[in-house]
Each structure stands twice: as structure tokens, then as C-alpha cells.
Chain A
């Protein structure tokens, strides 16, 4: 579910890419400072988009810190801010639910890693849930609805994607400015929908082989083991519809240092991800920084 929301590097200015990395590192440090060393592994490109969208600073200041992932060079890390702390909290909550999902889906041994992580993350999750009770309740509610759709083999791809999209749309509750919150809601609803559908497309061959639930399989009522060209085209069309909506909303955000990066992600980054997913190349890069 992670790593689908990323920029298209060739069209980013070097300065913009540096700012993007700085924000990513800022999020990683916010996770560590608020939720401990283990929480750092929850950092992702996807939540970096949220960090940029929620940022209130006019110019991101840098602090030089060591990186656990590459210890030999100090990195330029975004100065801590309430918004980064917020994104850290939401990240931990989502990471927790993802772990719950892995534990529920996997057998005892396969999910062992997830079980151990869950045990270690439990206290941190409780802290994040206490700090963001509204979002936590929303995520829980929508994931339960999603599980019900899966159980009942819901054929409407919109209905299922809606559950996930409402969670990501729910990020907007953390924006105090009401007008801005409406824009973020629209952006993140559609980014969430796009991610859900792309994830389903990515998982399609595996799910069909295991006879597991896959919304694309049900929507297009097909027996094919792989995605056919026609289905791929339909997926591309519907994901682009969402990206068009997200981009139209993104254009309404006030201009700041992050605007070109955000628009790059929405206009260029995600279409390149669509290409990778549909050509079968992208195999869950797991959101590690490039």
C-alpha cells in the first residue's frame, strides 16, 4: 500500500528534490522523537506528501543530523514542527492497522514478524491514538467496513476504494483552516482511491492464484490469471479520473515552496507509477528513499 505516491524525479528541480528529501528526513526524525526509534521504519514517501501539504512554514529550515539508514554522512533534516509531529502520529496509526491486517491475513509463521512488531508498537500506537482520536476512530471504522466488503465479495470498485479513500481524506481533519481542509480532503480522497486501485492491480496475479479477494477481479468479472490489456486500460482510465480531480484540487492550494513538488507528484509522479504497475515492473519498493 506504500510507495505509490512519489514524485517524478526527472522533472523536479534539484532544489525541489533536496527540499523533498529534507521533508522526508524531517518526518523520519519526528517519528523517532515522538514515537521512538522503532517508529522510524514507518516513514514513507506517501506520508511525505501529507507533510508537505500540511506545512505552515514559509521556508523550511534545516538541521544537520545523522541518519540511521546511512550513518556516514549527516543529512539536512527539516526543523521540527507541530505539523510534522501530526503526520508522525497519523503515520503510526496507519502503520499499526497495516500490521493488524498482516497478522490477520498471514499464517502463524508468515505473520510472525508482524506479530512481534505489533507487540513492540502497541504502546506507541496507543500514544498516537490518544493524540488523534478522531482519525483513529475513522480509520478503525472504515477498515471494518472494508473487511465487510471483502467478506461479502463486493463487486463495486468504487465502494471498496471509498473506505480507504475516506481514511486518507480524513487526514484533512488535522488542517485548522476550513477552506484549506476542504481542498486537502479532495486531494487526499482521490490520492487514496488511486493508491487503493493501483495496489489491487499490483496484487491481482497473486490474489487470483490464491483465490483471495481482489476488487478488480470482481469488478471486471474475469477469469484471467493476469490483467488483460483491456482491463489495464480501464484501470488506467479510472485512476486518471481520480488524479485529475486531485490535481484540480491541488491547483487551488496557495502557492508555496512545496507547490511544484506536490503538483509534480499529482501530474507526473503518479502517472509514472501507473505505468510501472500496469507493466508489471513495480514490485513494492516499500517506500525507501531513492
Chain B
């Protein structure tokens, strides 16, 4: 494995460029972006690969063993009430039908029920129902951080999606043109002429 290729940098990239590349990739494949996602294990593999590549480059360059400050989450599983422990297990293993079956057997629907129902829906890709269920769970138990986090994650992932689309980051043609016109004005003030026809 070529660690430079994994990070998408050239072999003579500066340390700062390598750090930036590692940061950007780690942000992309961070476990937080793949919570309750059917591909979470693949993302975790990718994180390991990225961290290993970064560590390898650092070791090569510095010639010493470093604690590379790799990103990546340890997850504190919230302690589950025994009532829903089986449901949580099924969700963790991706057996959504079993989880749903158990949930449907429950007569009364408390906040945790809505949260778990939301989790099942989210995992299935039923985003509309997931949002409704998470909202219900946070309404019924506003102090619970697990439910609040799940609900917040739904709006947060849209923000992340917009950012990755690079709407705000890309230099648009307008910005480029504006910059050139400004540069031309400054140049003319100094007695030169950057763009003769402006």
C-alpha cells in the first residue's frame, strides 16, 4: 500500500499538506458520519487505512515511533434497559426485521420505543419516518441525550452533505473575474496596467 496514494498526496508533499489531507479524509470517513449505517464497517476499514497511511508517512519522515493522533471513535454504548436490549442487539447486527417484530409486540410506546423505531427506520432508509420517530422520542423525553443526538444527527448530516457538495468552497467564475478586476485597478493606481482593455 502506498500511503501517499491513500492520502491522495504527492510523495514530496509538505508536512502541512499531509496533515491537511489526513484531517480532510478523517473528517469524511469519521464513524460519526456512519452511525447506524449499513456500511459502517466499511467506513471503519477506510478510517483504519487512512490512519495507518498517515502513521507510516510520519514514521518514515521523522524516523521515530509516533503516537500519530489518529482520528476515529470509541463508542460508549449507552447502557440499555433490559426491556429493549434484544432490540438494540438486532439493530447492531443489522437484523431489522427481528428488531421491528419485537418493537411491534410492545403495547405501550415510550420514548425509548420511538427512538428505537426511528433507528430501525433510519437503517432501512425510511428517512421521513426516522425523523418523525426521533422527534417524538425527544418530545417525550427531552433530557435524554441519546435521543437528542439521533435527532440532531439527522439535520447535521444534511449540513455535512451541503458542505461536501462544495457550494461554498469553490471559487466561482464571478469571484475570479472580480479578483482580476480589482487587481487591475490596483495595478493601474500604481502606474501599470494588468488588463489593457479594462
Task: Determine how close the nearest CB of chain A comes to the CB of B68; give it in whole angstroms.
Answer: 22
Q: Is B157 an interface residue (CB 8 A)?
A: yes
Alpha-carbon gap, A183 to B125, bound state (A) = 14
Contact B39 A267 (CB under 8 A): no
Q: Which residue in A11, A189, A238, A243 is a CB contact (below 8 Å) of B128? A: A238
Task: Determine how close the nearest CB of chain A comes to the CB of B114; give it in whole angstroms.
Answer: 15
Contact B39 A252 (CB under 8 A): yes
Q: Mark B116-133, 1 if CB is under 8 A from A, else 0.
A: 000001001111111100
Q: Is A98 an interface residue (CB 8 A)?
A: no
- Dominant secondary structure at the A interface: helix
Is the interface on chain A under 10, 10 to 19, 20 to 34, or 35 or more residues?
A: 20 to 34
Contact A249 B161 (CB under 8 A): no
Stretch at the interface among A66-74, A105-113, A124-132, A154-162: A154-162
Contact A267 B164 (CB under 8 A): yes
Contact A157 B128 (CB under 8 A): yes
Q: Is B63 an interface residue (CB 8 A)?
A: no
Contact B165 A158 (CB under 8 A): no
- Chain B residues 116 to 159 lying within 8 A of chain A, measured CB to CB, are 121, 124-131, 154, 157-158
Contact B125 A248 (CB under 8 A): no
Contact B161 A158 (CB under 8 A): no
Contact A241 B42 (CB under 8 A): no
Q: Which residue in A183, A241, A247 is a CB contact (below 8 Å) of B154? A: A241
Q: Is B34 an interface residue (CB 8 A)?
A: yes
Given contacts A158-B126, A182-B38, contact A251 B28 (CB under 8 A): yes
Q: Is A19 an interface residue (CB 8 A)?
A: no
Alpha-carbon gap, A189 to B38, bound state (A) = 12
Q: Mark A128-161, 1 if CB is under 8 A from B, else 0.
A: 0000000000000000000000000000111100
Contact B170 A165 (CB under 8 A): no
Task: Determine how close the nearest CB of chain B comes to the CB of A167; give it in whole angstroms.
Answer: 13
Q: Is A245 an interface residue (CB 8 A)?
A: yes
The chain A residue with its CB closest to the CB of B155 is: A237
Alpha-carbon gap, A24 to B93, bound state (A) = 39
- The size of the chain B interface, using a CB distance under 8 A, is 28
Contact A162 B160 (CB under 8 A): no
Q: Which chain A residues border B37 with CB–CB below 8 Å?
A: 245, 248
Given contacts A182-B42, A183-B39, contact A248 B126 (CB under 8 A): no
Q: Is A217 an interface residue (CB 8 A)?
A: no
Q: Is A199 an interface residue (CB 8 A)?
A: no
Q: Which residue in B128, B158, B160, B170 is a CB contact (below 8 Å) of A158? A: B128
- Dominant secondary structure at the B interface: helix
Q: Is B57 an interface residue (CB 8 A)?
A: no
Contact A158 B34 (CB under 8 A): no
The chain A residue with its CB closest to the CB of B33 is: A248
Q: Mark A213-229, 1 if CB is under 8 A from B, else 0.
A: 00000010000000000
Contact B129 A248 (CB under 8 A): no
Contact B154 A267 (CB under 8 A): no
Q: Is B29 an interface residue (CB 8 A)?
A: yes
Q: Which chain A residues border B121 with CB–CB below 8 Å?
A: 158
Q: Which chain A residues border B131 with CB–CB below 8 Å?
A: 237-238, 241
Q: Which chain A residues border B127 with CB–CB below 8 Å?
A: 158, 193, 238, 241-242, 245
The chain B residue with its CB closest to the CB of A193 is: B125
Q: Is B166 an interface residue (CB 8 A)?
A: yes
Q: Which chain B residues border A189 with CB–CB below 8 Å?
A: 125
Given contacts A241-B154, A267-B161, contact A252 B128 (CB under 8 A): no
Q: Which chain B residues border A242 with CB–CB below 8 Å?
A: 125, 127
Given contacts A162-B126, A165-B125, A241-B158, contact A248 B39 (CB under 8 A): yes
Q: Mark B26-57, 1 if CB is under 8 A from A, else 0.
A: 00110001100111001100100000000000
Nearest 4 pairs of A and B residues by beta carbon: A158-B126, A241-B127, A244-B161, A267-B165
12 A-B pairs with CB atoms under 8 Å apart are: A157-B128, A158-B125, A158-B129, A162-B124, A183-B42, A189-B125, A241-B157, A244-B158, A247-B161, A248-B33, A248-B39, A248-B43
Q: List A residues at the B interface (Cβ < 8 Å).
A: 11, 156-159, 162, 165, 179, 182-183, 186, 189-190, 193, 219, 237-238, 240-245, 247-249, 251-252, 267-268, 271
Q: List B residues at the A interface (Cβ < 8 Å).
A: 28-29, 33-34, 37-39, 42-43, 46, 121, 124-131, 154, 157-158, 160-161, 164-166, 170
A158-B124, A158-B127, A252-B46 given. 15 additional CB < 8 A pairs? A158-B121, A158-B126, A162-B124, A162-B125, A186-B38, A237-B131, A238-B127, A238-B128, A243-B161, A244-B160, A244-B161, A245-B37, A248-B39, A251-B28, A268-B165
